[in-house]
Structure formats: C-alpha cells, structure tokens
Amino acid sequence: MSVSIKDIAKISGVSTATVSRALSDPTRVSEKTRQAIMEVVEKHGYRVNSHARSLRRQRADAILALLPDLGNPFFSVILSGIELELQDHGMDLLVADSRATERTGRSVFNHLHASRVDGVICLDGTPTDAARAELAEPDVAERVVFACEWMADGDFPYVRSDNRGGGALAVDHLVGLGHCDIAFLRGPVDNILTEEREAGVREALAKHGLDLPDTRVGGHDFTLEAGFEAAEWIAGLSPRPTAVICTSDQIAIGLMSGLRERGLSVPDDVSVVGFDDIASAAYVTPSLTTIRQDRIGLGRAAAQVMLKRIGVGKAPEACVCTLPVSLMTRHSTAAPKA
Amino acid sequence: MSVSIKDIAKISGVSTATVSRALSDPTRVSEKTRQAIMEVVEKHGYRVNSHARSLRRQRADAILALLPDLGNPFFSVILSGIELELQDHGMDLLVADSRATERTGRSVFNHLHASRVDGVICLDGTPTDAARAELAEPDVAERVVFACEWMADGDFPYVRSDNRGGGALAVDHLVGLGHCDIAFLRGPVDNILTEEREAGVREALAKHGLDLPDTRVGGHDFTLEAGFEAAEWIAGLSPRPTAVICTSDQIAIGLMSGLRERGLSVPDDVSVVGFDDIASAAYVTPSLTTIRQDRIGLGRAAAQVMLKRIGVGKAPEACVCTLPVSLMTRHSTAAPKA
DNA sequence: CTGAAAGCGCTTACAG
DNA sequence: CTGAAAGCGCTTACAG
C-alpha cells in the first residue's frame, strides 16, 4: 500500500541504510546521494513508519498527559503549553483521563509499560492506591513528572505554581483594603493545592496578627456548583465575614452568583478573591480579583522538565520548578463597609 | 531491560506464538496452557509492546483529535467524550493543535502518514490550503471524520449539532417574548457554524415575517473579547435592538459585561441569547439563556463514527450524525420594555 | 561514504 | 492445540 524505505532505496539505487541516514543524519551521506534520495522521497511522499522506528530505536517520541478530568476547562491551556513545547522537539502528545481510565480497570501507566510513550506528565495529585503502587516501581518513577498537583509524600520532579505565595498575595491584598474577618473556601479534601493555598493564607494572616478559625473555613470542591452552594453558608454566618478567598475561580464565580441570589452585593457586602485567572474571570460581574497562574508556562515547563528527565535535548539539570503567581486586582474586592 | 514475549515463552515452556494467542485470542489455546501463561505474565508484569504489535498488525489503535485551538476550553468536554468512547474500544487518543502545527511547517496529517494513528477526528472546519490538498488524497480522506465544524465543500463523514435548528430556537424564543428587533453576533469570517446559525436565524425570522438587515449583524470572533467589543456597537445603535443572538456563550458573556459597563441592563434593556451552554453560562449574572449543545455526545458520536469508518466494532452504517440542540431558558432574556 | 545483515518484539498463515 | 518461521519497516554497529 504505502511506500516504504525499501521502495525508496530501490528507486534511488542505494541501500535502505543510506536512505535511513539521508533522512536522520544527512551529514553522513554525500550531498549528491542525499539530494537524489530526497527527490525520490518527496515525489513519492514517503514518511518514516513511526512504529518501525520506535521499535528499533526503543523510543516512542511521545508523552502522555494524565489529567484528573479531561472535561475540566482549567487544563486546556496547560495542555496547549505542553503541546507547544513537545512540538518543538518533534514529540507527540497523548492524553488520558485518570479517573476514566481507572473505571476501565486498566492501569493509568499502561502506556508506559507498553512503551507507547516515553514519559507521563501527571496532573493528578491524588492517584489511586493501585497507581501509587506503580509509581513506586523504579522504571515507572523515573519517567514521571508531576505538574500543577503532586503527591505530598512523593519525591518526583515537578512543576507547580507558588500556591503558598498566592494565598499570601490574596491575604495581603484584602488586609491592605482593611479586611480582618476573612473566610476561606477549600477545594476537594486531600487536594494538595487547597492545602498549600490555605497554608499560605494562614501564614500571611498570622503575619498581620490575624487567624483563620475553623468556623471560617468551608468548601469541598473546585467547581462552580460548590461555590454556589457555599454562598448559603457564607450568607448565613453571623457576623458575616467581609471577604472570602476561594481556591479556584470557578468557586469564586459560583459563590458570587449565589451571594447575589441572596441579595448580597459583591464587593459591597462581601469581597471575593479567586485563584487561577481563567479567561472569564475578567468578564464576569463584577470582574474577579484573582491570583493568576501562568498556565501556558506551567505546561511548557512541565514538558521541558519531562524532556530533560528522559534525556531529550539539554543535559539534565534542575528538575523542579516553581512558577510565580501574581495578583490581578479587579472589581470583586473593595474596602469593607464601615 | 523490560520483559518480552520471548521471555514469557521460555519461562512458560511454550512458543511465542502460543503466548501471543493466549493474550489475544484465549479460545485458541487450551485452558491449562492459558492459565499457566497468564500466571507467568502476571508475575513478571509483561505487557505487549505497542510498537511491535502495531507494526505487525498494521494498525496503530490510536486516533488523533485535531483542534483549531487546544487552549480553548470549549473543546475540553468534547475531548473527554471522544476519550470515553475510544477507551471502551482500547484505542488511544492523541491530540494536536492544527494552528500550532502549521506554524512548525509540518503537515497536520503527518501522524496519519507515519501510521501513528488510524484516523483523525478533525474539529477544524477551516484547514489551510496545504491541509485541504492532503484531504483530497484518498488515503487521507478515508481516515478523516469532521466533528462540530466541517468544510462546506467537502464530503466527509461528520458529527455536528443542529446549528440551524439552534438559530431557529433562539429566534422563536425571543419572538415569543415579543421581540421584533433582533441583532446577531457572528463568529469568525468563513466559519461554518456562524453561517449555519445565521441561516437558521434568518429562516425563523422570515417565518415570523421579520428579517435581519445588515445593520443588525456584527461580530468577528467567538471570544469574550469580541463580545465585549461588540457591546459598544450595540449600545450605539439607534434605535437599539431589544435582543441579541450570539453565536457563542463566550461572546454573550463578553457582551453582557460590556453592556453593563455602558449602563445597560440585561435583560431589561437588551435580552441576550448565547450558544453552547458552557458550564459557566448558568452562573454568570444574569444567568445566560442559551442553546445547549451536547458536547459529550458530540465527542462520543465522533469517536463512534471514526471507529466505524476504520472498521473497528460494528459494521459501517450511517456515517453522518446531527445531534439535536435545546433551548435553556434562563435570566438573560425577558419581554422587551414597552 | 556506503552496504549487508542483524534485530527491535510482535503476529499469523502454514503445517502438523 | 501448538510450533517453526517469515516478515511488519525501520536503524545501526560492523566492514570495507
């Protein structure tokens, strides 16, 4: 059917070895032969068969991005950052949803075992027990990089945002505005991002001589729904906190929606700070003050660390990387009403 | 390094052929041998090398999803639908950003030519000239399915929403509310979705004895920014239309934000209808009336059509599929002020 | 600079 | 039910 290296060799009157060299390492072939071969290659639209090459080279030239939820739009920008970087190195990107995969009973690292990919960028910080067991195997471990999320007890290369710093930024901003009764909305239980951001919030609060009592901590997920539900709780608190720090923009947007439905105004009655700076944060009403994560940068860096880890490109160096975050001041925060 | 079928064969005391059969077609091996082999397989954690299998079988067991913009969150849910379906059939999912790929000078169908994937689900209805030329080649054409978007002049299997019907639904809703001066906000020039939705709007308008003059048509992109910018134009129109139909929720959300900044109220001054029903549509203020697309269904259907096309699973049957859309009535639309 | 040959790890007619 | 052997399409020491 499709033309192979053998055909090209025959037509060009050389061996397959020479064709292969002309394609992979042109300097090892005379200019004249190379040109003749390339002409034949062009004319017949020959492309190296990736499976044959991978089998022979023992290298897949592909990376798997493992997401906790492929449908979550938060990841799309990160994914595009990963792809941008991989493309520059001629590597392909496979994606899989770790939760959906577990449902099938297959291992999330199957791609690695089957040599389909050279490494996996794991964006899921809470793998199942089965996955954790596999992560303990050296031949899996040495091919994994964590991005965004990570395992508290693991020792893997990683790329992440400065989550603590982000929590602190939110606090400094609110305290600077005059707030001293601040609530905090968590993400899912055991999620490392939630824990880090909360730690950052507590540290910064302490620096200002404030604290975060248990009665001011709520939330259970990163979603719009969770934020919306939390509005009922916040609205019912007495005294009501004058500001809420949310661990995601989705929570914040859901929360603002819920507060409004209860007749509460943002920022007049309650200031709200998000986390992430997703695209719509600037366009909701009021526009959302939030902690910006550089998601493209996160994706690119994750791919870079991965490529280093598996020995593509530069020599292996720093295999961890924490990206700075920044405060985006918009209209969902204001000084508390006197 | 890693254990191969040869090792398993040796340890089990059978030929590699028998191991292969035990793994792929257990009925062709005696129960006893099979069990013995499986035990060895389990114990040594053997996995079939995917490149060797693909090379031999001439099948990649993988599909490429080609998106116009990997970073656009609209696609994430579709992608998860595709993955769900592929997973059920043991197929892997590769993703690539068509615009980013073109930037590198490589062909977007390279994966197909290199046999890395068995087919490509194309979500980009406006391929470059180079890509169109390749789509004309039979061996490419027979492995492509369009999803969501498509080429007006192509004849490919496809999966799409009922875009015309969606346009009509929006009109019927607004006219039912009493609107008779309706504006329309387009997406990018030449985008087929925009054209279809506009056609649906015009047809429905005509049915009600109304029309859509050029002076009531604006917009140039599906983005939040484009919607925000359009607010200036809408606000400046005299007389001002009492309702606006947007070709995406992003446009609608951007528009509402811009209108509010100009002191206009939605829906009191202007009713707004979106298209897509993205997750945040229900949580913006006011919540957005929109045309819902079943994105998970779109993704699943696209994968199903693809699998049929390349002969996996069921016999090939209907290779086109138009999914119904539905009106989600929320708070961004109301009767026009008298 | 070039070629002959081995081999990457599988699967599958073909025989028995 | 099982095995020996060919071959999928490459790449790469090894020789010359």
Q: Are A193 and A149 in contact (CB under 8 A)?
A: yes
Residue A327's identity, in one-letter code, is L
Q: What is the pLDDT of residue A302?
A: 96
Distance CA B26, CA B23 (A): 6
- Taking the CA of residue A79 and the nearest CA in chain B, the distance in Å comes to 7
**pLDDT by residue (tens digit) across B109-133?**
999 999 999 999 999 999 999 999 9
CA angle, residues A194, A200, A204, in degrees to nearest 5: 145
Give the separation between CA B67 and CA B75, rounded to whole angstroms.
Answer: 8
pLDDT at residue number A315: 47
Is residue A256 within 8 A of residue A250, CB to CB? The reply is: no
| CATH assignment, A5-48 | 1.10.260.40
Tokens of B164: 């015309």
Chain A segment 109-168 residues within 8 A of B by beta carbon are 110-111, 113-116, 139
A337 touches strand D (CB under 7 A): no
CB A298 within 8 A of CB A78: yes
Mean pLDDT along residues B282-306 = 96
Determine whether the interchain pair A76/B73 forms a contact, defined as Cβ–Cβ distance below 8 Å.
Answer: yes
Q: SS3 for B64?
A: strand
Interchain proximity A80–B87, CB inside 8 Å = no
pLDDT values of chain A reduced to their tens digit, one per residue, 338 residues: 589 999 999 999 999 999 999 999 888 888 889 999 999 999 999 999 999 999 999 999 999 999 999 999 899 999 999 999 999 999 999 999 999 988 888 889 999 999 999 999 999 999 999 999 999 998 899 999 999 999 998 889 999 999 999 999 999 999 999 999 999 999 999 899 999 999 999 999 999 999 999 999 999 999 999 999 999 999 999 999 999 999 999 999 999 999 999 999 999 999 999 999 999 999 999 999 999 999 999 999 999 999 998 887 554 456 789 999 999 999 999 999 86
**Residue of A50, A56, A99 to mutate, testing the B interface (most B Cβ within 10 Å of its Cβ):** A50
| Radius of gyration, CA atoms only, chain B | 25
Cβ of A253 within 8 Å of Cβ of B77? The answer is: no
Secondary structure of residue A196 in the 3-state scheme:
helix
Question: Please, which pLDDT band fits residue B166 given cuts at 50, 70 and 90?
Answer: very high
Q: Which member of B55, B80, B296 has the closest CB to residue A52?
A: B55
* C-alpha to C-alpha distances, A197 to A171, A200, A206, B260, nearest whole angstrom: 11, 5, 14, 33
Q: Domain residues of chain B, as ranges?
A: 5-48, 57-161+296-323, 163-293
Strand partners, A275: A291
Task: Assess contact for B116 and A91: CB atoms under 8 A.
Answer: no
Contact A272, A251 (CB under 8 A): no
What topology is assigned to B163-293 in CATH? Rossmann fold (3.40.50)
Instruction: Report the protein residue whose CA lies nearest the C1' of nucleotide D12.
Output: A17
Where does residue A260 rank: exposed (0-12), middle (13-18), buried (19+ CB within 10 A)?
middle
At a CB cut-off of 8 Å and minimum separation 6, what does B145 contact? B119, B120, B121, B122, B156, B157, B158, B159, B302, B305, B306, B309, B319
CA A146 to chain centre: 9
Q: Which of A92, A277, A332 to probe by mutation at the B interface, max B CB count within 10 Å?
A: A92
Through-space separation of residue A86 CA and nucleotide D15 C1' in angstroms: 38
Q: Report the pLDDT value the prediction gives residue B50, as an integer from 0 to 100.
A: 96
On whether the CB atoms of residues A254 and A280 are closer than 8 A, the answer is no
Collapsing DSSP states into helix, strand and coil, what is residue A336? coil
From first CA to last CA, the distance across chain A in angstroms is 79
Distance CA B211, CA B109 (A): 42
Amino acid present at A332 = S
For residue B198, the tally of other CB atoms under 10 A from its CB is 21
Task: State how far the Cα of A100 lies from the Cα of B80, in Å rounded to an integer.
Answer: 9
Query: How do residues A42-57 score in pLDDT, each as one tens digit?
Result: 999 999 999 999 999 9
CA separation for the pair A53, B172 (Å, rounded): 57
The answer to whether domain A58-161+296-323 has CATH 3.40.50.2300 is yes
Check A92 against B77: CB less than 8 A apart: no
Q: Do A81 and A297 contact (CB within 8 A), yes or no?
A: yes
Return the biggest CA–CA distance within chain A.
88
List, edge to edge, every strand of the sheet that includes A326-328.
Answer: A217-218, A182-185, A243-246, A271-276, A289-292, A326-328
Are A222 and A190 spatial neighbours (Cβ–Cβ below 8 Å)?
no
Mean pLDDT, residues B18-43: 91
Rounded to an integer, what is the distance from CA A261 to the centroid of its chain? 33
Backbone phi and psi for residue A255, each to the nearest 5 degrees, phi listed first? -65, -50
Q: Is the CB of B17 under 7 A from strand C?
A: yes
B168 touches strand D (CB under 7 A): no
In order of A143, A157, B96, B98, B244, the CA distances from A84 in angstroms are 20, 20, 9, 11, 37
Q: What class is the B57-161+296-323 domain?
A: alpha beta
In whole angstroms, give the CA distance from residue B100 to residue B104: 7
Instruction: Give the phi and the psi of residue B65 in degrees, each rounded to 5.
Output: -100, 120
Place of tokens 């075992």: A113
In B, minimum Cα distance to A287 occurs at B257
pLDDT in tens, B74-93: 999 999 999 999 999 999 99
Candidates A295, A292, A279; CA nearest to A85 is A295
Cα within 13 Å of Cα(A73), Cβ side: 19
- Give dist(CA A320, CA A58) in Å, integer: 26
- Cα end-to-end distance, chain B, whole Å: 79
Residue of B131, B163, B84, B157 lying closest to B306 (CA atoms): B157
In the predicted model, what is the mean pLDDT of residues B182-207? 97
For B111, name the nearest residue in chain A, comparing CA atoms only.
A50
Instruction: Fill in the amino acid letter for B273.
Output: V
| Strand duo B144-147 + B119-122: pairing | parallel
pLDDT digits (tens, 9 = 90+) for B220-262: 999 999 999 999 999 999 999 999 999 999 999 999 999 999 9
Cα gap A250→A271, rounded to integer Å: 15
Rounded distance between C-alpha atoms, residue A332 and residue A275, angstroms? 13
| Fold matches, A5-48 and A163-293 | no
Q: What is the mean pLDDT of chain B?
A: 94
Is the CB of A23 less than 7 A from some atom of nucleic acid strand C? no
Predicted local distance difference test score (pLDDT) of residue A106: 87
B55-71: pLDDT as tens digits: 999 999 999 999 999 99
Rounded CA-CA distance A190/B261 in Å is: 40
Tokens 């040594």 label which residue?
B44
Q: Tell me which chain B residue has its CA closest to the CA of residue A261.
A: B285
Q: Is the CB of A49 under 7 A from strand C?
A: no
CB B263 within 8 A of CB B291: no
Distance of alpha carbon A31 from alpha carbon A35, whole angstroms: 6
Q: What is the largest CA-CA distance in chain B?
A: 88
Is B48's pLDDT higher than 50?
yes
Beta bridge partners of A274: A290
Nucleotides of C under 7 A from a protein CB: 1-5, 7-13
Residue A153's alpha-carbon distances to A37, A98, A156, A301, in angstroms, are 54, 19, 9, 22
pLDDT mean over B301-315: 83
Alpha-carbon Rg for chain A in angstroms: 25
- How do residues A181-205 score in pLDDT, each as one tens digit? 999 999 999 899 999 999 999 999 9
Q: Number of CB pairs < 8 Å for A and B?
A: 176
**Chain A residue with minimum CA distance to B278:** A73
State the residue for tokens 């047809």.
B203
Predicted local distance difference test score (pLDDT) of residue A311: 81
